Amino acid sequence: MKRHIRNQILNIMVSVKKGLAYFQVSNKYIVLKKCIQALQSVEQLCQSGFSKTRADYYNQDFSVIIDKLSRQLTTQQNIDKFDCDAFIKSLDIISARLSNDKEVKKEIIFLPYKASMWDSLESIWQAAADDKENCDAYVIPIPYCDRNPDGSAAQWHCEADQFPSYVPITDCREYDIAKHRPDVIYIHNPYDGYNRVTSVDSNYYSSELKKYTNMLVYVPYFVVGDTIEAHFCQTPAVINADRVIVQSEEIKRQYEAYYPGGNPPMGKFLALGSPKFDKVLSSKKEDFVLPDNWGKIINGRKTILYNTSLAAMLENSDKVNAKLRYVFSVFKERKDVALWWRPHPLMKATMESMRPEILQEYKQIEQAYINEGWGIYDDTAELDRAITWSDAYYGDMSSVVWLYKVTGKPILIENILEINNKNYVDNNTDIV
């Protein structure tokens, strides 16, 4: 049985007990009639929610109570001497059994919006999905929109078809959160309506979701190094969530220090690690299928993951396109390595919203790279495939660097300002 159905039953029983408690000062006939109707609805809920064995177990007791109340209602003999306390005690006993019944499962839902960010929730979902005896876990991809420069919605998306095949997906239109009132809700979107580039549907803002659960959990969609910027610690989801899962004790300390007012509720931040690290460390090449043309491009060569980030683009927007042309010209000439280019999933949407003046040229460079076919262009949700299959990292400083670092493979951070010298080596380059 789902927990919200069990809770519905318990609430009905509370109403019945209140009715019986006020029996002597109310219209006795109406009270008995309403109590019988309520308990009959409880029988139906047990029948539909429990296994046959457990439904029969509870409904046997309910049938006895309903039968006695019905006889009293029919005969109305000695109604003033009717022993309400005995019925209330019987219902208390049944309520206690229901509260601890092992067939009642915890209902947990996961609300990702970008499939490429699913790795921030996956290992938590997997643990809940594996605990079938105690949990019902649902993955419900939610709609989001790209935003115009004025903040209005440009285009709506739902990426339900982009999740791994082993993840069962529930259509968001078929799951009513207000009705189900899940025990736990996990989210990875921290911004509610304050992201200038994208926005999830307002029904899924953390400020709304907290109305329908007693445990809203936010898990950051990114990882960091040893420090985190203050604004990440002050987003709506951080404030509204009952729990925030962070990657380390040091980052937890910073979240607590940057929290508005500097005094977060006790136990709000939990340093349990990041599912993103779990995913990278557990992934193997055989877990992923490469498109045929990608395999032909690699063809036994060393593969460089080229990652371009939003932060570098926004900070150096006048240099981005020239840098791309330069990098591609270098790697196109190399016969010993293959380039695997993976721009940030929101790169074009961010340009359109915040840097529209460079978007057209960027699209031309991107399309030329794709058409020429000498390198891999990866705009899929599978970041972990790129990390696992590549032999080294080259590109912008971003959260991907911290994920890549745990693999122990080489990392080279690009200098976006250097676009001419092919023999250039930055003294600050970090090679691990």
Shared domain for 255 and 365, answered yes or no, is: no
CB 388 within 8 A of CB 285: yes
Is residue 275 in a domain? yes
Last residue of a domain, one of 61, 77, 99: 99
Contacts of 428 (CB under 8 A, 6+ apart): 413, 415
Mean pLDDT by 10 residues, the chain (432 residues): 87 92 74 92 93 93 92 70 83 93 92 95 97 93 93 94 95 94 96 93 97 97 95 97 98 97 94 96 94 95 96 94 95 94 94 94 97 96 95 95 96 86 44 30
What pLDDT was estimated at residue 19?
A: 86
Look at residue 81 in the predicted model and tell me its pLDDT. Answer: 64
Residue 426 within a domain: no
120 in the same domain as 63: no
Say yes or no: 272 and 320 in one domain.
no
292 with 387, same domain: the answer is yes
The rounded Cα 45 to chain-centroid distance in angstroms is 30
Q: Residue 201 half-sphere exposure, CB side, CA atoms within 13 Å? A: 14
Which residues are within 8 A (CB) of 125 and not within 5 positions of it... i.e. 6 or more apart?
A: 110, 137, 139, 167, 186
Full residue range of the structural domain in which residue 15 is found: 3-99
Cβ-proximal residues to 30 (8 Å cutoff; 6+ apart), any chain: none
Tokens of 229: 């910027």
- Within-domain flag for 424: no
Co-location of 349 and 408 in the same domain: yes
pLDDT at 24: 64
Question: Are residues 202 and 267 located together in one domain of the fold?
Answer: yes
Say what the pTM is. 0.81
Looking at the domain assignment, is residue 431 inside a domain?
Answer: no
Predicted local confidence at residue 78, as pLDDT: 62
> φ, ψ for residue 410 (rounded to 5)?
-60, 150
In whole angstroms, what is the distance from residue 178 CA to residue 374 CA?
A: 51
pLDDT, position 419: 73
* Residue 214, C-beta contacts closer than 8 angstroms, at least 6 positions apart: 183, 242
* Predicted pLDDT of residue 102: 86
Number of domains in the chain: 3
Residue 427 pLDDT = 40
Could you tell me if 275 and 296 lie in one domain? no
Domain boundary among 227, 245, 280: 280
CA-CA distances (angstroms) from residue 217 to 74, 107, 179, 329? 52, 14, 19, 45
Give the pLDDT score at 20: 85
Q: What is the pLDDT of residue 72?
A: 79
Closest by CA position to 304, among listed 423, 432, 409? 409
* One domain, residues 369 and 302: yes
Residues 161 and 237 in one domain: yes
What pLDDT was estimated at residue 41? 96
Instruction: Identify the CA nearest to 113 among candidates 219, 231, 242.
Output: 219
Q: What is the CATH number of the domain that holds 370?
A: 3.40.50
Q: How far is CA 5 from CA 8, 99, 419, in A?
A: 5, 12, 62
Residue 100's closest CA among 131, 134, 51?
134
Q: What pLDDT, on a 0 to 100 scale, did the predictor assign at position 425?
A: 40
Among 133, 83, 128, which residue's Cα sits nearest to residue 103?
133
Nearest alpha-carbon partner for 41 in 12, 73, 7, 3: 12
Residue 378's pLDDT is what? 97
52 and 145 in a single domain? The answer is: no
Residue of 165, 166, 158 whose CA lies nearest to 112? 158
The reply to whether 141 and 269 lie within a common domain is: yes
Do 345 and 248 sit in the same domain of this protein? no
- Asked whether residue 421 is assigned to any structural domain, the reply reads no
Dist. CA 117–CA 188, nearest whole Å: 8
Considering the domain boundaries, does residue 36 fall inside one?
yes
